[in-house]
Structure 1
Amino acid sequence: MGTVVIFGLVTILAIFGLLRSLKDKNFFGAFFAFGTLAVFGWFTVMTVLHHGFPTGH
């Protein structure tokens, strides 16, 4: 279940990277940040839907 936590952190960092790239008008960086956001965001959502939220032991 650590996978969903790691995917979630990468997704959050991709959001910040996308916003910063757009602010700096770095469209090449924004393209890759959006790709990262799309892929890891999709993996995060699907992992949560399929396996549920991670539980603390």
Structure 2
Amino acid sequence: MGLVIIFALVTILGIFGLIRSLKDKNLLGAAFAFGTLAVFGWFAVMTFIHHGYPTAH
């Protein structure tokens, strides 16, 4: 359960980073923020689907 929370928090920070870098017209920052958003968002969703919430014992 803790892993899903950490991945979700990193995903949320990636969203804020993407918005800020697009606002500042920083394309390299936007690319890295989008990559972070895609990878950690995917991991968060798939960990949530695979292990469920709350975790089953």
Task: Please indicate, yes or no, whether the TM-score normalized by the shorter chain is above 0.5.
Answer: yes
What SS does the aligned partner of 2:17 have?
helix
What SS does the aligned partner of 1:53 have?
coil
Gaps of at least 5 residues in structure 1 are none
Q: Which residue of 2 aligns with 1:36?
A: 36
How many pairs are equivalent? 55
What TM-score do the two structures reach when normalised by structure 1?
0.91
What TM-score do the two structures reach when normalised by structure 2?
0.91
**Separation in 2 of the partners of 1:5 and 1:13?**
12
Contact kept in structure 2, 1:14 and 1:36, CA below 8 Å = yes
Cα root mean square deviation, aligned: 1.0
Matches within 5 A, 1:1-57: 1-54=1-54
Runs of 4+ in 1 over 2 A off after TM superposition: none
Q: Letter of the 1:52 partner, please give it.
A: G
Gaps of at least 5 residues in structure 2 are none
Deviation of 1:54 after TM superposition, in Å, equals 3.5
